[in-house]
């Protein structure tokens, strides 16, 4: 059983690495497409900011580790978590292969739900569907922490991107009409130069937001695995050199995330980001809409604002959905036909299918484990 726990922790880190290169495009697609930074410069910056963001806060990690599956209905054992991770990994690799920017967050959540349903023999009560609280953003369960944000956060990202682009266009138009130095500053060469520099900051902010939200999901999975193993007595036989795997008293009592888990997940995600996800970068940065630095700045700033707000509330939103929606909003503000809606159609289908497909894969894997006598 100890070997299985170690396999699960290793698989979680593999998921984190894949998440890093799968979602690299979230923070750097626009800054690469606008040629503000070279691909290697952009990846290096994203990896650094992912690392910093991943070390800030644990609200999302606590949601993943205790807010979606009812441990009172089933034993949230290592086999279940392993199948959940494998479901997310398989779907991430499928969408990466086709260059589709799907959500690693929803792939992991779908995997958890699918594996839990298989372990509970289709008892829907194993999933915490909805627990309403006041104020409403403190509500728990799949409805409030997954479904509502899955719809509302891209809509908000689109709206903020559209409005920000509209405001920027308005001020540039006003400057052009004012004459003199202001009119010169409104010329395309000056606008591109200014927002080229500003976009470096917005891309860094997007990388920070991605690390703060996405890296925490794997932290929650690792913490859930070790707390469950501790409760089952599996960690009682740990050799001395692995003693750090024992959850701390704070982790057992309050669901806190131990420091070594934070650091390890942050480093692994940064390493994955450094590997780059060029297929998805091509889709977001080049196929969706033609971007200039001002558009990249508006999209990244809008998406990062939404993601940071969600992270503070412990809501595991999709960075992919948000930056994609923000790019669509910015492109629509430019003109409606600037967006390549055929590409959008494929992306939306990937979004819709992520939770049921990753859940179905995890469900099937757990059933195979049961048939083989491993669960």
pLDDT tens-digit profile of 36-88? 888 778 878 888 887 888 888 777 877 776 678 887 777 767 899 999 999 99
What does the DSSP 8-state code read for residue 255? -
* Residue 10 pLDDT greater than 80, yes or no: yes
> Of 361, 373, 285, which Cα lies nearest the Cα of 85?
361
CA atoms within 13 A on the CB side of 272: 27
Length of the chain equals 375
- Residue 279 has a pLDDT of 58
> Of 93, 103, 90, which Cα lies nearest the Cα of 360?
90
- Residue 100 has a pLDDT of 73
Res. 183 pLDDT band, cuts 50 70 90 = confident
- Residue 188 has a pLDDT of 83
pLDDT tens-digit profile of 316-373? 788 778 888 888 898 888 777 767 777 677 778 878 899 999 999 999 999 999 999 8
- Residue 293 has a pLDDT of 86
- Residue 283 has a pLDDT of 55
pLDDT tens-digit profile of 199-226? 889 989 988 988 888 777 888 889 888 9
- Residue 14 has a pLDDT of 93
Measured CA to CA, the distance from residue 174 to residue 153 in angstroms comes to 31
> Of 287, 326, 329, which Cα lies nearest the Cα of 203?
326
pLDDT tens-digit profile of 130-144? 888 777 767 778 888
* Residue 280 pLDDT greater than 60, yes or no: no
| Arithmetic mean of pLDDT, 151-171 | 91
Measured CA to CA, the distance from residue 325 to residue 320 in angstroms comes to 8
Proportion of the chain above pLDDT 90, given as a percent = 24
Q: What's the chain's average pLDDT?
A: 84
Residue 284: count of CB within 10 angstroms of its CB: 27
Paired residues of 140 in beta bridges: 131
Proportion of the chain above pLDDT 70, given as a percent = 93
Res. 25 pLDDT band, cuts 50 70 90 = low
| Arithmetic mean of pLDDT, 93-120 | 87
By CB atoms closer than 10 A (0-12, 13-18, 19+), residue 41 is middle
What's phi and psi for 131, nearest 5 deg?
-135, 100
| Residue 3 vs residue 253, higher pLDDT | 3
Per-position DSSP letters for 304-369, written without gaps between them: HHHHHHHHHTT----HHHHHHHHHHHHHHHH-GGGS-HHHHHHHHHHHHHHHHHHHHHHHHHHHHH
Q: What are the Cα distances from residue 24, in Å, to 13, 40, 62?
A: 16, 12, 24
Res. 237 pLDDT band, cuts 50 70 90 = confident
Measured CA to CA, the distance from residue 302 to residue 305 in angstroms comes to 5
- Residue 288 has a pLDDT of 58
17 token code pair: 């690495």
Res. 284 pLDDT band, cuts 50 70 90 = low
| Arithmetic mean of pLDDT, 148-155 | 87
- Residue 99 has a pLDDT of 72
């Amino acid at each position: 059983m100890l070997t299985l726990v170690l396999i699960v922790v290793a698989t979680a880190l593999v998921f984190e690495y894949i998440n890093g290169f799968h979602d690299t495009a979230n923070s750097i697609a626009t800054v690469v497409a606008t040629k503000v930074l070279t691909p290697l410069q952009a990846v290096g910056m994203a990896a650094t900011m992912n690392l910093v963001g991943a070390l800030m806060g644990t609200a999302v990690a606590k949601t993943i580790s205790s807010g979606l599956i009812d441990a009172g209905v089933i034993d949230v054992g290592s086999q279940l978590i392993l199948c959940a991770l494998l479901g997310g990994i398989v779907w991430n690799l499928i969408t990466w292969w086709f260059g589709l920017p799907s959500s690693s967050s929803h792939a992991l959540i779908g995997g958890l739900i699918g594996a839990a349903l298989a372990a509970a023999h289709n008892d829907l009560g194993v999933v915490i569907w909805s627990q309403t609280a006041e104020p409403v953003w403190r509500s728990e369960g799949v409805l409030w922490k997954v479904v509502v944000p899955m719809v509302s956060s891209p809509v908000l990202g689109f709206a903020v991107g559209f409005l920000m682009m509209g405001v920027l266009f308005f001020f540039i138009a006003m400057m052009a009409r004012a004459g003199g130095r202001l009119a010169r500053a409104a010329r395309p060469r000056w606008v591109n130069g200014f927002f080229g520099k500003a976009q470096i900051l917005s891309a860094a902010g997007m990388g920070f937001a991605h690390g703060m939200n996405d890296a925490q999901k794997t932290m929650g999975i690792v913490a859930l695995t070790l707390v469950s193993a501790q409760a089952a007595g599996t960690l009682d036989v740990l050799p001395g050199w692995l003693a750090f795997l024992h959850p701390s008293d704070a982790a057992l009592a309050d669901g806190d995330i131990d420091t070594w888990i934070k650091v390890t997940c942050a480093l692994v995600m940064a390493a994955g980001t450094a590997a780059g996800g060029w297929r998805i970068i091509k889709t977001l940065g080049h196929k969706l809409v033609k971007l200039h630095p001002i558009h990249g700045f508006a999209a990244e700033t809008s998406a990062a604002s939404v993601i940071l707000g969600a992270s503070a509330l412990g809501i595991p939103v999709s960075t992919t959905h948000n930056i994609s929606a923000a790019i669509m909003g910015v492109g629509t503000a430019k003109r409606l036909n600037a967006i390549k809606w055929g590409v959008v159609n494929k992306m939306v289908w990937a979004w819709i299918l992520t939770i049921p497909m990753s859940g179905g894969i995890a469900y099937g894997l757990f059933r195979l484990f049961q048939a083989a006598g491993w669960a």
